[in-house]
């Protein structure tokens, strides 16, 4: 059962423009479904909603098969890399702190090193960027965290 303070926090967040409010711990699959719903509302081009294929810029994301293509080229991402990439691309322009990404992708109870996020981001960039020394998609906000560059959309 929610406490009064949590109800007030939820009400304030929704009144200030939030689409939804997630209470920790939460299920990553429910979170992904909420992101898909937001993407549909934001008029992103969905190729075929029955097969859960989403097109965003140069990317095609198959959420059921957990596959990503960039400009029609398959990208082999591990499970955590896919989850991390999906969180970033689903929130273009939003800067995520490492701690937030650890909670969203690895789960609330994950007590690993913050550098885990850095390693996964580097591996994703090496796989999706034409030149991983000059990132176009996943950007670093120095001293804060990471974000998906929405100026390319």
Q: pLDDT digit string (tens) for 49-108? A: 455 888 888 889 988 889 999 988 999 999 999 999 999 988 888 999 998 898 888 876
Q: Name the pLDDT band for 47 (thresholds 50, 70, 90).
A: very low
Assigned token pair, 42: 């934001």
CATH number of 21-152: 1.10.10.10
Q: Where are the chain's structural domains?
A: 21-152
* CA-CA-CA-CA torsion sign (127, 41, 65, 98): positive
Give this prediction's pTM. Answer: 0.65
DSSP letters, 29-96, are: HHHHHHHHHHHHHTT--EEETTTTEEEETTEEEETTTTEEEETTEEE---HHHHHHHHHHHTSTT--E
pLDDT of residue 48: 46
pLDDT of residue 4: 59
Q: What is the mean pLDDT of the chain?
A: 80
Q: pLDDT digit string (tens) for 101-126? A: 988 888 765 566 778 899 999 999 99
pLDDT of residue 1: 45
Q: Name the pLDDT band for 152 (thresholds 50, 70, 90).
A: low
The mean pLDDT value for 129-142 works out to 84
pLDDT above 70 covers a percentage of the chain that reads 82
């Amino acid at each position: 059962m929610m406490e009064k303070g949590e109800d007030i926090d939820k009400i304030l967040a929704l009144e200030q423009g939030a689409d939804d409010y997630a209470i920790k711990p939460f299920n990553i699959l429910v979170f992904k479904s909420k992101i898909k719903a937001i993407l549909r509302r934001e008029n992103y081009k969905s190729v075929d909603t029955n097969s859960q294929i989403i097109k965003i810029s140069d990317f095609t994301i198959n959420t059921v098969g957990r596959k990503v293509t960039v400009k029609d080229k398959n990208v082999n991402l591990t499970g955590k890399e896919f989850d991390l990439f999906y969180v970033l691309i689903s929130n273009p322009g939003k800067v995520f702190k490492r701690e937030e990404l650890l909670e969203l992708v690895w789960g609330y109870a994950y007590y690993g090193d913050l550098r885990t996020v850095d390693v996964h981001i580097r591996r994703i960039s090496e796989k999706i960027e034409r030149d991983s020394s000059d990132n176009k998609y996943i950007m670093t906000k120095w001293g804060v965290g990471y974000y998906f560059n929405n100026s390319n959309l």
